[in-house]
Structure 1
Amino acid sequence: QDYSLFLYDLTSTYFEGQAASNPKAKRGYPRDHRSDAKQVCLGVVVDREGFPIGMEVWRGNIKDPETLSATLKKLEERFGPPQGAEGLKRVLCLDRGMVTEEKLEELRNSGYGYVVADRRSQAHRHWEKINSSQWQVIRQSREGEPLVEVTEVGQEGPDRLVLVRSRGCQEKERAIHDRFLSRLSEGLERLAKGIAQGRIKDPSKIERRIGRLQERYPGVSRWVHIQLQQQEGGARLHWCVKASSEEEARQCEGLYLLRTNLLKAPTQEIWENYILLTRIENTFRTLKHDLNLRPIFHQKEDRVEAHLFFSFLAYALMWTLEREHRARGGQLSGRRLLEVLHEIKLGTIGMTPSQGQPLTLERISTPSREQAEILATLHIALPRPYTRLEPVSLTRA
């Protein structure tokens, strides 16, 4: 097993019920969009292949950076110092929001190599590099169009900064911006119409309505210039999209900034290490959707942790099944493997005659062709059913 690189991230899962006796059940940032429910946070570490290395249950209102120190300590206790005998550093990949400057300094002092995504706003500082001719294409379509490009933008302290331009991220962000700008425009149009018709006259009420719209769509509200004018016939609302602000924001769509202390690693390798975080996202998706991690119906702390731990073990088994299946030519996902194998049933039949010995029979359903092929790739043989006669105790009449 390769333990030279770890991926670490947090998710949350919510409770049904009050969980009043569980000190870790708190209201916090709801990744499941259930702000009405208490939750706990789950920190997970996986290796570069996506195999689960460890997990930790945190209180539901903990901030991501607060979990890093304890995680580093546990990794060192289990796998030894992050600095190898040959000077190679163990690398930790983290997503944006996971680290602060203080935690970055802790990572440096502990000897870890790291690849971290900076917040989106940090990439905007380098938007003038967009038209640079020094972009390196590291992934392209069949037609030769660049899908992912990277470029070095210098150093900041001990860290290298790598700017990434992704076609997929660009299309996603553009769709989000278009949708939010459309909704903001519709909201302003309705508000302007209500003001013109005299249905909304109080200036303070109008300003509060404008503020709520800006708060609802913060990503695009800074593109829009809004002006409330008081005239003899009443107030009038005027607004327009600032072309310069929109142009700058549009040019930054699909851009994100990576920060690393791996000074000798190729730029492509840095991006490839970071993009492995999609595997831990797949871990969370599998735990929640396929293995029924959420919601939590247990209320006591020890039972909650047992539920999460068994879910984690189930994911480790599911991951192993999928890996073994595909290593021997299979194409199915872990979820599909469980769906197919779940149909194999074992039944026990007991018969107790009025006279004679009790009889116990085991019967196993005959595997279908697909089930037999899956069992062959996993090198699993079904147990042989047995027939057992129970001994009869002899008693004196």
Structure 2
Amino acid sequence: MPRPRIVIVGGGHTGLTLALRLQRILRDGEADVTVIDSQPHMTYQPFLPEAAAGSLEPRHVVVPLREALRKSEVITAQVTAIDHARRELTATIGDGTAEYISYDVLVVVPGSISRALPIPGLAEQGVGFKTIGEAIYLRNHVLSRLDIAASTTDDKLRRRLLTFMFVGGGYAGIEAMAELESMARYAIRDYPGIHVRDMRWVMVEAMGRIMPEVSQPMGEYTRQRLTDRGIEVKLNTTAKSMEGGHVVLSDGDEFDTDTIVWTAGVKPHPMLEGSDLPRDDKGRVDCTAKLQVRGTVDVFAAGDCAAVPDLTSRDPNAKCSPSAQHAVRQAKVLADNVVALLRGQELHQYRHRYAGSVAGLGLFQGAAEVYGVKLKGFPAWALHRVYHLAKMPTASRKARIMGDWLLELPFRRQVVALGELHDPRSEFVKAANTRGLPQRHGGQAG
């Protein structure tokens, strides 16, 4: 009799945590596990701001799926359709070939993507902050703006280069901006012609507060700390246009910038649109408290893409927030329920009261609120690092991250831009297309 096949769509934090737990608790030969993701690695997103700021080596905040999941099959492909009526999904691999994969148990955890709005110029000028590629790009981009600004005598260009705008005052936007501003503040010590007052950092938030994940006083404390560093926090403000880098805000402010970072929310992965699974009005997969997709027995979902009832809320219609805290805990319950389904045992409901949040605001600065206890400054920053180090999958990645942090003590932070990473062929193409110049003969130059 063939072994049942468990297919996991998504190799992010939720999918990796789930697969690692299945590898531990499944008996030998009890089931085959297949993980499908368009990327060959998992990115630990809470560490993206530190990777962008140079506190962490970017390779250390990603976990190669094949290295971690040696007992599972890993397929690098994009799932484009799910036909549960036939228990089959369609996956497109890198060369465009479509593969059809059948399953006995399906787990849908593709996560989310940035939710962009139809603002003129956003698609052309903006960049998100959800992937390691975006983090590396922003690091190189910000440092390259400092390099150009230090070399130009054009005051208008200089102001544009040294103006940095972030849209979205949730945790992702606040941490990303705070870390990059901290990095830039550190870097300009090597630029005699640039002063901290020459830089302009602008946070635009449509709500009347930042960081809605924490209490109002903690959000206000964070806003004040950012303001003390010269960062402009514009509340109840939206971006009306940003065509050509010319930003027009709803409060009447206008300015030019080369850097627009969009962190204003997320939406479920668009691959769900190609499935026949039930979804709610926000596009998330509709789930029961047992993490089963509503109306099915052998399909499960969790994380940002899933609408899971929050059993700890007094509101009967409340759903769990799309946070990493819920996603990882859901993954563990989900793994146990998948195994229980295979063994004909009772499934358990997911129940977890949100513990709070921790945020890093640059080197030695932070804000945290855990089970009602508020921490500020260095204690919050230290808790932020300890908590996320503990949650980072695999011992090897934990050790590498700890090594990066220890190296910060005796040595200076690395603040060099490697912009050619984003277009590595540009110099070769330029050389190959050179015409009419004197030709050099002989061997290579010594």
Measured against the shorter chain, the TM-score band is under 0.3
Normalized against structure 1, the TM-score is what?
0.27
Normalized against structure 2, the TM-score is what?
0.24
